[in-house]
Amino acid sequence: IERQAGARPGRPRRGERGERGVFVEGRMPGTETNQGGAKVQPEHMKLYYGRLFPHQTMYKWLAYGNDYARSKHPKADRSFFSRREFCFTLDGDIFVRYQSFKDAEEMEAAIKQKCPAKIDIGPVYNVDPRKRAAYSGGSGGDLSGAGGLRAFQPVERELVFDIDMDDYDDFLNYTHKDHGWEKCWALMAVAIRVLDRGLREDFGFEHIFFVFSGRRGIHCWVCDKRARMMTDEQRAAVANYFSLCRGREGGKAKVMLTSPRHPSVQRAAEILEPIFVDEMLPAQGLLDTSESWEKILEYIPDDDVCDKLRERWQNGRRSSTSAVEDVNKSRWLELCKEVDRCVGRTKDPMKRRQLAKCKDEIVFAYTYPKLDIEVSKKRNHLLKAPFCVHPKTGRVCVPIDPERAEDFDPDRDAPTIFQLLEELDSGAERTSMSENVELFEDLFLKGLSRSTQEELAAKTREAVGMAVDF
């Protein structure tokens, strides 16, 4: 067991390969407290994995129809599931990589025995991860190693995205860290809508699901065969396609927009603008105080417009005809009008373009999804499994319906392990977990299963046709 300096407690570092039996510095998962003050203990996890965790559902997803013992298709790959990597985080913040299982029963037995505080899912490798030492390179490399030995390398992995609420903090007056989800869940909901439509309409993916991370963000899994077979370069290209906000420059976010709008940006703007104006402006008070409005005025490339708005707002004047209209929304309308007037009277083509897109830059800087693209770029990256229990909050990582993302309330709809165990103790026939597993199956798994069966059937027909031709 090795001690790994600088790693984040309770999880492998992002983009890291790691080795089996790596020890990560930090507090034991059992010592972290949730928002209600209770601690997630090993005995809680034992009950959870024994009575609530959907082992069979997880296996059905990750096998992709390749359950050789039950599959009716001779083209099912009996080694497929055994080549999938799992990583267990155990008590003492020990995480053990390159775990693999031959079938659902072996996976369930291992989870129940070890009761991991967290389960991460890795890629499907070209060989069983437990046998990686027998192959050249040990943890990746070229297609063939010295002496002609095959290298150990990932060959398939879902395309994944990770969005963390902390990455929005520089734009918010009321952050999740200090004020909870009430004033900022709209940002996660709109991120789901933008990603879901972009992945489906621009890339043609169908088998997509979103999961609440259990604490401060969301994960997206794209499970189409075409997505799973992407190279690292292709994954990076898709991630960059959705990465319009790239760091900060000159005191403001660097937003990669063009004028006129790209069709994908146009679609995103139609989703983002109502959320920014009707929800984020008033909820966050983005134009309430000089400290907040100065951050927004940074995006306007005309000093006269900024001075005029600044003077009006400092004097408390507003052009709204409604005395009850939120001051933030009223000031935003004033800003838009002043910018539009300036565009109309500006003759310099470059400045006109800058002015024409500055309103979009503000909306996108504050509301467009802020992806951790490093999570998406590499096939060997680990990501927390759905239905895990977050060790710090005790909340379960549950699926989110993208069509109703704005109605999802993490504090209400993501049950805690303590709530679930109380439901079991009460003798309830169904628990909150049952509802979430059914949602996962209805929204995602049933359609995926039909697709994988069709793929296997097509392979069988192709093989039969080739045999007849021969």
Active site residues per annotation: 85, 162, 164
- Per the CB < 8 A criterion, the answer to whether 17 and 380 are in contact is yes
- Per the CB < 8 A criterion, the answer to whether 356 and 301 are in contact is no
* Distance from C-alpha of 228 to C-alpha of 451, rounded to nearest angstrom: 14
Closest among 88, 100, 87, 232 to 155, alpha carbons compared: 232
Q: Look up residue 150 and give its amino acid.
A: R
Closest among 396, 370, 385, 368 to 163, alpha carbons compared: 370
Q: 291: left (phi > 0), else alpha (psi -120 to 50), else beta? A: alpha
Structure tokens at 22: 């790596």
Structure tokens at 266: 């146009």
| DSSP characters over 65-118 | T--TTT-S-TT--TTTGGGEEEEEEETTTEEEEEE--SSHHHHHHHHHHH--SE
Other CB atoms within 10 Å distance of the CB of residue 215: 20
* Distance from C-alpha of 28 to C-alpha of 9, rounded to nearest angstrom: 8
Structure tokens at 186: 């709209």
Q: Sign of torsion, CA 382 383 388 389?
A: positive
Please state whether the peptide bond connecting residue 349 to the residue before it is cis, i.e. omega within 30 degrees of 0.
no
C-alpha dihedral over 395, 399, 405, 409, to 10 degrees? -20
| Residue 26 CB burial class (10 angstroms; 0-12, 13-18, ≥19) | middle
Please report, for residues 168, 188, 304, 313, 387, the alpha-carbon distance to residue 414 in angstroms, rounded to integers and kept in the order given: 22, 14, 49, 41, 10
* Distance from C-alpha of 122 to C-alpha of 85, rounded to nearest angstrom: 5
